[in-house]
Chain A
């Protein structure tokens, strides 16, 4: 099964994804459908969105997305519908729920941490430097300035 899936995708990847007969007549709706398609993963493929993939399943999903949209669903409703059917594996933009929060905040948290460490280190080093004269050096300095 896995092998078949692989072959399907290999057949698919170099060829065209969205077929002319899938395109909706309403350009605004079609543009929305394309955007949603880029957020959904082709389940049998290696790492492609349904917008890029030429696998049969991706085509079915693209048509499904367009059907739901034509029926009046909002973008969020369409994505919820697909997720309810296929699980969160289908989402290329992982939802920021549960453990996924770690994923989403990893960058900002590390940035703040890095800036904090860098400034603290620099401050410390800077203050060290200002008092870096040893006692004998300070004594010598006093001697010199007195002259």
Chain B
């Protein structure tokens, strides 16, 4: 009964979404207030209905209702409760339901918090949001209905993929979807502005918080996914350039570009059409991502229920929204004349450089991701594009970005002098180069990776600090410290995010360059040395029972000289319901290094394969991402977004649509 209610609520949500797509839009075009006002209650109703539907599906998972196909395929009565709940989105159908739930949440948020938007813009935004809702609700109901029943329900389910039975599943997909779907707001704002034929500073100010929110959720989602892969897959990689990872990375890059170009719209009323285009592309890439993940046209380690029919449907959605928006863009972009004039050497110029580098980097990832498909279709070559290509083709853009960032963020608007800006930054540059040289001289290998990474990281972090310091102006130290507290949150956010990027640079460079690996057969009681640590395998306990698995775990002690630094228990589990083994690495996290131990198979002739890694600065990678996201939160909390958000310039400057 509850399941039927959920199914019914979903269908009802679709009809509400249809109403939301048309009524407010027509109202806005005709200037009918009552029709425009339909958007708000419709968005709220759509969210509540999908919420009800999602709750019903969760109920089915929690009570192990095996009459539902998805529950049978992805659950098991013996599964711990947390994984019964997270299992709701650990499969294609349920995750799509979460997708539309978040979509509806964003639409409803625009209705709830968009009080300061002009009625016309709000109505149009809600309409576009409603259309996206219609498309995806149709997709769910027609191709991936989570409420499909089985004629003969089995007694037991087939269990969730054991790799997914991890707290990572609780957070990684929801955050990622908050990011993906959040970009639909930027898209809706862009399309609404195109329909209105008006983009001004106020528009830039409204669209930026939504983009910022989406970007920061994506940042957290990607970081969580990377961290999950790091500890779950058992060999300590953090990024694989897998198509599905790229699918989340491309919108992130474009969102980062959009975030910066929207500043130019807000402060200087320039780059308008480019910003609109980026907003369309950002959501376009998140749809492409959805297509890549769900259609299975590209082989990926992320095994999802792939189905060509679903792929075609998503391709149609993609074509309709991105194609339609681009056509609208082509027709209307000329209306949006830029006002602000600026020289090449200026904050605007630097932000354009940022946009070019991020967009080209995204393009490289895109080409690399789809190239196997293109090569097979058009050139009859079956080939692979893997990490070696991406590392070589992508990294230079990030290096260039890091090099110009501290300079660009210190340049004044309109017209600046490089010499003036550099006067403040020479010290930072000298320190960073010196740090790079020091790292170079200390390391044993010949790789330039770590020295360059450290130099860039310090250049970014110290550059951000100098930026903050110079914002306080001249005067006594105490007075300046006081002013530091009074700086707008957005300035803090900027500095913190840029520093976070520096932290990630250091982490990636150090871990990639300096990881030490050791593989050997060890018998219980033996000891061995890795990178200065003495490691003993104290005991191995086989076939210990867990809640829904059997585990073999080792007791490992790590000593630094005489001092015990860690006791680790790497595990090897077998999940009988799914018939699958998993490796649970044991990691001793540290600020400057991770100790990472994995137990492998029992060897003929006794002993176990033991793999040990010492991974320097590993946690800096994710810490940097979290710092970046914190910067985003700081910037979001800036009071300017709340207080002055409604202050649109005099309507005299507006260009009417009709």
Tell me the A residues contacting B by CB distance below 8 Å: 6, 10-11, 13-21, 23, 38-39, 41, 45-49, 52, 87-94, 98-100, 103-104, 106-107, 110-111, 114-115, 118-119, 122, 125-126, 129
Enumerate chain B interface residues (CB-CB to A < 8 A): 163, 232-235, 237, 240, 242-243, 299-301, 303, 338, 341-344, 349, 352, 356-357, 359-361, 363-364, 367-368, 371, 375, 378-379, 381-389, 392-394, 397, 519-521, 572, 580-583, 598, 600-601, 603, 609, 611
Residues on the A chain within 8 Å of B392, using CB: 93
Partner of A19, one of B382, B519, B572, B581: B519
Seed contacts A14-B581, A15-B581, A107-B393; 20 additional CB < 8 Å A-B pairs: A11-B581, A14-B232, A14-B233, A16-B235, A16-B609, A20-B603, A20-B609, A41-B384, A47-B243, A48-B240, A87-B382, A88-B382, A99-B375, A107-B361, A110-B363, A111-B356, A111-B360, A111-B397, A118-B352, A129-B341
- Do B379 and A98 have beta carbons less than 8 Å apart? yes
- Are B242 and A47 in contact, CB atoms less than 8 angstroms apart? yes
Decide if A52 touches B385 in the complex (CB within 8 Å). Answer: no
How far is A77 from B389 in the complex, measured between Cα atoms in Å? 20
In the A-B complex, the 5 residue pairs with the closest CB atoms: A92-B386, A93-B388, A107-B364, A16-B600, A129-B341
| B387–A94 touching, CB < 8 Å | no
If A15-B600, A118-B352 touch, whether A89 touches B382 (CB-CB below 8 Å) is yes
Q: Do A47 and B301 touch (CB < 8 A)?
A: yes
Contacts of B379 in A (CB 8 A): 98-99
Beyond A52-B235, A52-B237, whether A20 also contacts B521 by CB under 8 A is yes
Asked if A46 meets B301 with Cβ closer than 8 Å, knowing A18-B519, A106-B363, A125-B341, the reply is yes
How many contacts A-B (CB < 8 Å)? 143
- Known: A15-B581, A48-B301, A99-B375. Contact between A89 and B383, CB under 8 A? yes
A48 cross-chain contacts in B, Cβ below 8 A: 240, 301
Bound form: Cα–Cα A98–B242 in Å: 24
Can you list 16 A-B pairs, Cβ within 8 angstroms, ordered by A? A14-B581, A16-B519, A20-B609, A47-B240, A47-B243, A88-B381, A89-B382, A93-B389, A93-B392, A94-B371, A94-B383, A94-B384, A103-B367, A110-B364, A114-B359, A122-B352
A20:B303 contact, CB within 8 angstroms: no
Q: Bound state CA distance, A17 and B611, in angstroms?
A: 10
**A19 in contact with B359 (CB, 8 Å):** no
Report A-chain residues with C-beta under 8 Å of the C-beta of B378.
99
- B382 to chain A: which residues have CB within 8 Å? 87-89
Interchain CA distance A16-B368 in the complex, whole Å: 28
How far, in angstroms, from A46 to B163 measured CA to CA in the complex? 15
Query: CA of A13 to CA of B234 in the docked complex: distance in angstroms?
Result: 8
CB distance from B132 to the nearest CB of A (A): 29
Which residues on B sit within 8 Å (CB–CB) of A13?
163, 233, 301
Partner of A41, one of B235, B386, B521: B386
| Cross-interface CB contact of B300 among A38, A46, A104, A119, cutoff 8 Å | A46
For residue B393, which residues in chain A have a CB less than 8 angstroms away from its CB? 104, 107
A38–B368 touching, CB < 8 Å: no
Assembly CA distance A26 to B163 (angstroms): 35
A47 to B302, CA, bound (A): 9
Cα–Cα, bound, A23→B609 (Å): 12
Q: Note all chain A residues with C-beta closer than 8 A to B352.
A: 118, 122
- B341: which A residues are within 8 A, CB to CB? 125-126, 129
With a cutoff of 8 Å between Cβ atoms, the chain B residues found around residue A87 in the complex are 382
Q: Once the chains bind, are B383 and A6 in contact (CB under 8 Å)?
A: no
Contact A88 B383, beta carbon cutoff 8 Å: yes
Given contacts A20-B609, A129-B341, contact A115 B384 (CB under 8 A): no
| A122 to B: closest C-beta gap in Å | 6
